[in-house]
């Protein structure tokens, strides 16, 4: 199955979404920024990753995209791939009458300017992409798949129940303040959840979760002793610190 990156300006987002949905229905994998990039991701890294992984790059050309530095950068990367791989990578799709960039001149383009001819031009695009068809399955294959999904759900529910039971047991005896801090830390750092639920403790009334402990250690290395060290010593909590760090070391080793 071919994959395609939709290079477009934010102004042309409605067309890009429609085109992306239609390509997915036709059986293609589609890379479009709003679906692939999450909050906190590096835009440059994620876009470069998308451009490197796909088979084709569709250049949705309009006055806005021609003026966009992002689109220009994406098409530069894609055109370099085309030269290196000695094959067609960039597929120009005209949304408005514009002066084509130099490296796209001479290419046959999909003319989507007339919306009434959308289906006709879309068919030409499918042909250029290899004419993939939607995946189909027999009735028996669907029944087997449904059974596998149902079994997987049962397994997931079983382990979720076990985890919930562990959480209730681990939180037993912990103060409401510490439990609240554990829940807040687990929302911010889901990968720390098991460690926090099992090993988080209080030192002199101060809740100590893994993220707080690591932050305090790092700060003490940079600026000298941190007040948390004194609290831990005064309340004889170094065994709890060691247990928490051992659990984190195990997590990093997996």
Predicted confidence (pLDDT) per residue in 189-247, tens digit: 887 887 888 888 888 788 889 888 888 777 665 666 667 776 776 677 778 778 777 77
pLDDT tens sequence across 6-54: 988 888 999 999 999 999 888 888 888 643 334 343 345 556 666 777 8
Question: Is 134's pLDDT higher than 60?
Answer: no
What pLDDT is attached to residue 60? 92
Q: What is the pLDDT of residue 35?
A: 38
Mean pLDDT (whole number) for 47-72 = 82
**Own/partner pairs, 218-225, CB within 8 angstroms, 24+ separation:** none
The string of pLDDT tens digits covering residues 106-131 is 677 899 999 899 999 998 888 888 75
pLDDT interval class at 249 (50, 70, 90): confident
pLDDT of residue 159 exceeding 60 = no
How long, in residues, is the chain? 254
The pLDDT assigned to 49 comes to: 66
HEC string of 169-230?
HHHCCCCHHHHHHHHHHHHHCHHHHHHHHHHCEEECCEEECHHHHHHHHHHHHHHCCCHHHH
Q: What is the set of domains in the chain, with CATH numbers?
A: 3-129 (3.40.50.10140), 173-253 (no CATH)
């Amino acid at each position: 199955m071919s994959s395609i990156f939709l290079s477009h300006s934010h102004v042309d987002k409605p067309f890009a979404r429609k085109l992306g949905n239609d390509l997915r229905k036709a059986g293609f994998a589609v890379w479009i920024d709003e679906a692939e990039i999450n909050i906190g991701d590096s835009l440059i890294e994620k876009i470069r990753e998308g451009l490197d992984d796909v088979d084709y790059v569709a250049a949705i050309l309009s006055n806005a995209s021609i003026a966009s530095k992002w689109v220009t950068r994406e098409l530069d990367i894609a055109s370099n791939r085309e030269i290196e791989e000695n094959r067609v990578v960039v597929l120009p799709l005209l949304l408005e009458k514009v002066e084509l960039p130099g490296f796209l001149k001479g290419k046959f383009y999909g003319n989507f300017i007339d919306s009434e001819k959308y289906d006709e031009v879309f068919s030409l695009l499918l042909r250029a992409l290899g004419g993939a068809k939607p995946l189909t399955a027999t009735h028996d294959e669907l029944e087997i798949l449904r059974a596998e999904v149902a079994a997987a759900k049962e397994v997931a529910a079983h382990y979720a129940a076990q985890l919930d039971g562990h959480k209730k047991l681990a939180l037993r005896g912990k103060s409401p303040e510490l439990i609240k801090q554990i829940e807040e830390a687990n929302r911010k750092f889901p990968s720390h959840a098991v460690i926090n639920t099992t090993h988080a403790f209080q030192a002199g009334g101060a809740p100590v979760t893994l993220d707080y402990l690591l932050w305090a250690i790092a700060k003490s290395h940079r600026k000298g002793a941190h007040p948390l060290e004194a609290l831990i010593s005064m309340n004889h909590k170094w065994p709890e610190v060691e247990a928490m760090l051992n659990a984190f070391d195990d997590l990093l080793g997996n």
